Amino acid sequence: MPYFIRARTYFRYAGEELARAKEHFTEGRYQEAISLARAAVLSALKALYAINYPQAPNGPPAEEELLSALDLWQDPELSVRIKEIAKSLEKLTLEPADRPQAERAIRLASDVVSLTKKALGPLLPPLMSKF
């Protein structure tokens, strides 16, 4: 599958997972909301990874590999911010879930999805217009 289709698909997954996290949050299922927020971040990382590595990997890349691929971006602030958010979300998944933590996880995941859209927009403008 071409890299731009993989990037668009992973970005779509990130948006869908974020929407599901918000649904779980409103239903009071905070642990699921945090898990889905983390999944949204991982999907966004995979979208960025797909652009950096046009050849599809043989297997799913590890989270560390996804994070290290961010160093290839022209915008170092993007890399640093997303790495900070990923670490914060990882810590949130280890703690017992409550409303403020779930709300924070969704906010952080939303930031990553927005940053990813900003990064991918110039590279895939016609593909990103519907997101």
pLDDT tens-digit series, residues 43-82: 999 998 888 877 777 888 888 888 888 887 777 888 899 9
What's the whole-model pTM score? 0.87
For the segment 91-113, the average pLDDT, to the nearest whole number, is 89
Q: For residues 37 and 109, is the Cβ–Cβ distance under 8 A?
A: yes
> Per the domain annotation, does 70 fall within a domain?
yes
Assign 105 a pLDDT band (cuts: 50, 70, 90): very high
Higher per-residue pLDDT: 1 or 35: 35
> Per the domain annotation, does 21 fall within a domain?
yes
For the segment 71-100, the average pLDDT, to the nearest whole number, is 84
Please, what is the Cα angle at 81 between 52 and 41, to 5 degrees?
65
Mean pLDDT of the chain: 86
In CATH, what number is assigned to the domain containing residue 115? Answer: 1.20.120.330
The torsion angles phi and psi of 122, rounded to 5 degrees, stand at -65, -25
The total domain count for the chain is 1
> Per the domain annotation, does 34 fall within a domain?
yes
The parent domain of residue 88 ranges over 3-55+62-119
Q: What's the rounded Cα separation, in Å, for the pair 99 and 28? A: 8
> Per the domain annotation, does 14 fall within a domain?
yes
> Per the domain annotation, does 87 fall within a domain?
yes
> Per the domain annotation, does 67 fall within a domain?
yes
Q: For residues 22 and 66, is the Cβ–Cβ distance under 8 A?
A: no
pLDDT in tens, 108-127: 999 999 999 988 887 776 65
> Per the domain annotation, does 40 fall within a domain?
yes
The torsion angles phi and psi of 58, rounded to 5 degrees, stand at -70, -30
> Per the domain annotation, does 31 fall within a domain?
yes
